[in-house]
Amino acid sequence: MALINSAAENNITFVQSAYFIISGFIGIPNIRYYFVFLCFIYIFSVVGNTLVMIVIILDRMLRSPKYIAVFNLAFTDLLSSSALVPKVVDIFLFNHYYVSYNDCLTFMFFCFTFIFMQGFNLVVLSFDRVMAIMYPLHYQMRVSHKLILSLIAFFWLLAITLILIAAGLLTRLSFCKSVVIQSYFCDHGPMYRLGCNDVTPNHAFAGSALVIILGFPLAFIVGSYCCIGYSLSKISTFRERVKAFKTYTGHLSLVAIYFLPFTFVYMFGSVIHPNARIISLSMSTVLPPMLNPIIYVLQTQEIKQSLKKLLKTRLCESPGGNLPRD
């Protein structure tokens, strides 16, 4: 009887909020200038990633398994920026702080899915690079288009599953006190901490997901580069070792841009000012999609050559491009 009464009491007191209030940037001085900065970042991200995808589609020489992963990274970056930046600007620049319950869960789902996939794409690229250096003679046999596509599909499924579980655990929470989310979007951590009932499952799952999303990928990437470093150490001359290592600087730059800011924020987030944490976390999510295409265009010889070839072809095909000179 006591158990039934307790369950009945829990059902009576359960409150599912009709909306949430996003308050992350409220009160930060001169924050409107930051929103203008976000708009420029978004434009560069859309243009850069679209350009990378177009180059890979148009150039048949870039149909290798590696560039399938690069295409997926650019595609994910484009979706990540489009899911986050326009909505954040709309919320804070136009004072639309109230977000309905279902819209908030949807916003969280898309943002986290694409952010997680950025890290998983780096794992796929690391796998491709370590296979290329460890098995140079058998690389094409071991790393096929089907294998890379299977890895990408698996990681998409993993990211979507993790976020669906996180969203499902949020629906069991009662928001009977505050509905103010101390973040710049519908962030999972600040949301579940608002729950009035037991948040232990949410907290446990958040910790486990963080290990899967940041811990395992970073450990795999570090281990793969240890193998790459060992293989490069067998090259006879120092100049050849440096030349070989330069081919991996682009991917290493992407890894540093993605993992270091997130690691810093999650390790020292409790000791830095909340405003600084929100700004740092927002920069961690919006800068990689803008910088990734720049790094790949500048540091990947194949994409640079392909881009030059496509531009030259378009100029020759344009009106007046083949006019004889005087």
Residue 298 neighbours by CB under 8 Å, 6+ apart: 304
Q: Hey, CA dihedral for 255, 295, 75, 181, is it positive or negative?
A: positive
* 95 phi and psi angles, rounded to 5 deg: 60, 40
- Beta strand 98-100 with 180-181 is unpaired
Which tokens sit at 103? Answer: 């819209």
**Is residue 307 within 8 Å of 297, Cβ to Cβ?**
yes
pLDDT above 90: residue 161: yes
Q: What is the pLDDT of residues 247-275, one digit of tens each?
A: 777 778 888 888 888 887 777 766 777 77
What is the spatial order of strands in the sheet that 180-181 belongs to?
98-100, 19-22, 180-181
Q: What structural domains does the chain harbor?
A: 19-300 (1.20.1070.10)
Q: What is the DSSP letter of 325?
A: P
Residue 204: per-residue pLDDT:
94
Which tokens sit at 291? Answer: 């910088």
Q: What is the pLDDT of residues 62-87, one digit of tens each?
A: 888 888 999 999 999 999 999 999 99
Residue 42: per-residue pLDDT:
94
Mean pLDDT of the residues in the chain:
84
**Is residue 220 within 8 Å of 126, Cβ to Cβ?**
yes
Residue 323: per-residue pLDDT:
47
Amino acid occupying residue 43 = I
Residue 103: per-residue pLDDT:
94
Helices 101-134 and 145-170 cross at an angle (nearest 10°) of 150
